[in-house]
Amino acid sequence: MAKKIKIGKTRDGRLKVKGRGVHMTHKAKERKRAHREEYGQSAYTPEVGKAFCTILASTCNVGKAAGAVGVTRMTVYNWREQFKEFAEEWDAAKQIGLTVLEDEAVRRGGTDGVDEPVFYKGKLIDTVKKHSDTLLTFLISAHKPDTYGKQRLEHSGKDGAPLTPMRVEVVFPDAPKEQKKK
């Protein structure tokens, strides 16, 4: 027979469930086993970390890289917090992945463009090469923000000091008094 569940508090004030029955522990183990079967073993190894980072470098997508090595996104973020060397490999892979994305953006936007199909009466008749001016604008403004970036105007006081708030006082004139009729 299962024990009754009681909710108590720990010494530091957190809620704690007391008296869990054996059946609940068994169910929790079953859920954990099913999770591992679906997503794979979530223990970090340097080989799994390198495989993740290799895929991250080519896709720049954490979800795809995590799925490829058989773990969840949350697992790799936990690994990132726990293992310093993995976090460093992740950062390096992310930089490579961003370079790959940037190269693809340049290819699509300026040099090669993208072939878009042309349809007439529901049938494919040709393709047209499209280039993205917006994509190129973003790339140029990212690399040369002083020249092509958004112009920013900073308001400050004398010698760069912060502006002091002004005090505004609104004064209403006295309303004319009505004269009594005699």
Per-residue pLDDT of 90-102, as tens digits, reads: 999 999 988 888 8
CATH number at residue 41: 1.10.10
In a domain, 41, yes or no: yes
Residue 182: per-residue pLDDT: 57
Q: What is the pLDDT of residues 58-68, one digit of tens each?
A: 888 899 999 88
Among 13-22, 134-143, 169-178, which is the least confidently predicted range?
A: 13-22
> What's the domain range around 131?
23-147
How many separate domains does the chain show?
Answer: 1
The residue that leads in pLDDT, 138 or 64, is 64
In a domain, 30, yes or no: yes
Task: Flag whether 134 is in a domain.
Answer: yes
Sign of the Cα pseudo-torsion (111, 115, 116, 119, in order): positive
- Please check whether residue 105 lies inside any domain of the structure: yes
**Average pLDDT over every residue of 167-173:** 77
- Asked if 21 and 3 touch (Cβ cutoff 8 Å), the reply is yes
**Domain-embedded: residue 66:** yes
Query: How do residues 7-50 score in pLDDT, each as one tens digit?
Result: 667 777 776 656 555 445 667 777 777 766 665 556 788 898 99
Query: Is the residue at 64 inside a domain?
Result: yes
CA nearest 41: which of 66, 70, 16, 64? 70
pTM: 0.51
Domain assignment of residue 120, yes or no: yes
Confidence of residue 178 (pLDDT cuts 50, 70, 90): low
In a domain, 42, yes or no: yes
For residue 180, the model assigns a pLDDT of 63
